[in-house]
Structure 1
Amino acid sequence: MTPKELVMEAVAAIFVNFDATAAEQLLAKDYIQHNPAVPTGAAPILGFIPGLKESGIEVDIHRVIAEGDMVVLHTTYNNAQAFGAETLVGFDVFRVEDGKVAEHWDNLTPVTPPNPSGHTQTDGPTEITDLDKTAESKALVTDFVNTILNNGEVDRITDFLSTETYIQHNSNIADGLDGLGAALAGMAERGIQMIYSDVHIVVAEGNFVFTASEGTFADKPTAFYDLFRVENGKIVEHWDVIADIPAEMAHDNGKF
């Protein structure tokens, strides 16, 4: 199986079929967990499966992108009280090694209303295209995160974002560069700073590029998970899930 196929089978075993036996064959025993609330190792995941089945949890996978041994899912979890809310939107990131799912990172957030332009946290294109431009798209987005989000060189934003089409899925931000500018100005007026400091993960496939970054939001340690769609050499669409990084976790692996 490809890494993408392996991850999809593992997710189906855990969240669709609730089949601990199948899941055990797909997870590495020393599975490394980065979800702050879940202990590391395969055993805790397998132990959760009966409770997940009883809860009636459902997973809706919107997008799947993969590069090398890394696979990213853009998901909605319904009946997700076991994770802290009735419905959660998230990004799940998996690393595959030696034919097993070996490591997992995620960010989850409650569902929020559509943004001022009417876009939800998960709608929009899902088809992966331009596979021959994967490296080019990855370089563009990585440069954008480092130049604009890390270094704050906002005067260069049109080097990366399309001036004609920029679709936003963050509930607080309207489409277009004007919408982004207004949201950033509003945050500045309220004294809220959003600071990206380190990019830990970049996964690209065709026109989609995912990044997982560390920083602060309103002075709190924060994990920023961002998904970008690239078209004609510019970023034209953006989804994100932002989550606090707690001081205490159920393991010693850290958030990243």
Structure 2
Amino acid sequence: MSLPSGIGVYGGGRMGAGIAHAFLLAGSNVTVIEANADAAAAARERVESSVAKAAERGSITATQEEILGRLTVATDAAALTVCGLVVEAVPEIVDLKATVLGRIESAAPDAVLATNTSSLSVDQLATGLARPGRFIGLHFFNPVPASQLVEIVAGAKTDAAVVSAAQGWVEALRKTAITVTDSPGFASSRLGVAIALEAIRMLEDGVASAEDIDTAMTLGYKHPMGPLRTTDVVGLDVRLAIAEHLAREVGERFEPPAVLREKVAAGHLGRKTGQGFYTW
């Protein structure tokens, strides 16, 4: 299935810029919406840098100029009117996402609307929408350009045709889709966080160093990256927020270890701050 000619991405941070990158390389026209002019300029720089790195790797077939010529960065959601699919990629805050989703639906009433949430309930986010049948979860993974997986989350009211279309869109991005029903943490976050939390507890208990715990998983279980290094890449604050959500929804086995809370409180959030379980 071909992609919609117009793709919107609301939020131009690391994830949003990565999502924009993926659709640009697949040939779509992409509109990124940010809160203000400074944030919009930063979002454009992220996408341009990402495309430049792809060019250096030899992984693009068009010129950088042609690819970036299909990118629009704006601060007014009205620019999304031309989009057939809009992906919301703002922080994991329910009220913020709900507000943004309503804004997108008003600006692009005919578009399929997707949330990039990694753990929040698609059904809960759909409650404020006029057309919940056209709403779906598209959980991209960080870093988006290199990741091969997209988790499609079907809400209770998501139309079957929208799920089918989303599966085709992921294939058009040359990524692999898994499809799950709306449930706390879906499949990927629930499993990934469970492993990461146990690794953090092992580090807290002095079982082994971070390096040795990660090596156990990379060499013993063929994980491309160990759970502690992955947590640094994802962001300790992101891991903490998801763990707290899962602890409320699933049970105390997802209660965050003290050392995770302490590192987040100290501002040691992983790669993005230079310090987490590793020094970057």
What's the TM-score bracket when you normalise by the shorter of the two chains? under 0.3
Larger helix share, 1 or 2: 2
**Taking CA–CA contacts closer than 8 Å with sequence separation of 6 or more, which of the two structures ends up with the larger relative contact order?**
1
Larger strand share, 1 or 2: 1
